[in-house]
Amino acid sequence: MLRYSTVVRSFAVASAAVVALSFAGCSDDETTTPSKAGTFIGETETFDSKTMKSWVKLDDNGNPASVGVTFEESLMASLPVTGALSFHLMLPTQAAMLPYQHITLDWNANGHDPMPIYGHPHFDLHFYTIDTNERKEIVPGPDFVPVESKYIPTDYGTGSDTAFAAPMMGVHYVDLTSHEFHGHDFDHTFIYGFYKGKLVFQEPMFTKAYLETKPNITAEIKQPASFARTGLYYPTKYSIKYDAAKKEYTFALEGLTKR
């Protein structure tokens, strides 16, 4: 007959062995996957010693979470009061799952057509889905190749019976329900660009006066029924934010969703 103390000791030894094996099993079977999250800088441009840079943010799984451009607040005071400037920014290799090839930050001191609507000093931030060589082939004038309706978001159009392409850009499709077409001044909006039936850019556009209010906004992007190029991450939101501590503006496409 076993004594009580012997049984207790045997049970304790057995329990300790089971616990040890359990922990050993956990360490063998459960491995921690390192996070792939991070912000990766593409290209940095300088104007009058003020910098701007492109970037992409990845989530823990390495998928794109947002992409955009950041520039120093002091850049605003260096911009010319007439004419236009364009800054070319390449994206980092970590942006490969996005549809974009490069970005241009364009300054329009006198605005552009249609002047009654967009004749204010403002920035165009083009996220191009084509490379610079393809852009050079975009010539100004009528574009008679129709865009399939499934690629055009609801409420978007050219505002004209004939689509006209801007040189090295394409045809601008605007949200015709946006407030600048209904008695309010233009401050910010989102544009889709097509050329010969193909999506060539997506573009948040915003005025200098609006930036001077130091905004912190996130707006929805109206979506088409589908995209011609699938398996890539497209934005569902865009944001314009001012960082008082860093004294810089950040413009981002967010809510990136695989389509």
Question: Which band of pLDDT confidence, cut at 50, 70 and 90, is reported for residue 9?
Answer: very low
Distance CA 159, CA 141 (A): 15
C-alpha 96: how far from chain center: 13
Q: How much is the mean pLDDT over the chain? A: 90
Q: What does DSSP assign to residue 34?
A: P
- pLDDT in the model for residue 124: 98
Res. 1: pLDDT tops 70? no
User: Does residue 72 contact residue 51 with C-beta atoms inside 8 Å?
Assistant: yes
Q: Which residues, other chains included, contact 221 with Cβ-Cβ below 8 Å and sequence gap of 6+?
A: 153, 190, 202, 235, 236, 237, 238, 253, 255
Q: What percent of the chain is modeled with pLDDT above 70? A: 88
Long-range contacts made by residues 211-218, C-beta under 8 angstroms, separation at least 24?
Answer: 211/76, 211/123, 211/240, 211/242, 211/249, 212/76, 214/242, 214/244, 215/240, 215/241, 215/242, 216/240, 216/241, 216/242, 217/188, 217/241, 218/254
**Residues near 25 by Cβ (< 8 Å), separated by ≥ 6?**
none
Residue 188 has pLDDT above 60, yes or no: yes
Rounded percentage of the chain residues whose pLDDT exceeds 90: 86
Q: What is the mean pLDDT of residues 116-138?
A: 96
How far is residue 236's CA from residue 219's CA, in Å, rounded to a whole number?
A: 9
Helices (H), 30-154: 75-78, 115-118, 132-136
CA distance 51 to 45: 6
Token pair, residue 93, equals: 């290799």
d(CA 163, CA 194): 10
Across the range 136-161, mean pLDDT stands at 96
pLDDT in tens, 19-52: 344 444 444 456 788 999 999 999 999 999 999 9
- Round to whole Å and give the CA distance between 44 and 71: 9
DSSP classification of residue 218: E
Mean pLDDT of 180-192: 96
pLDDT at 75 over 70: yes
pLDDT of residue 11: 39
Q: Degrees (nearest 5) of the Cα angle 154, 160, 163?
A: 90
pTM above 0.85, yes or no: yes
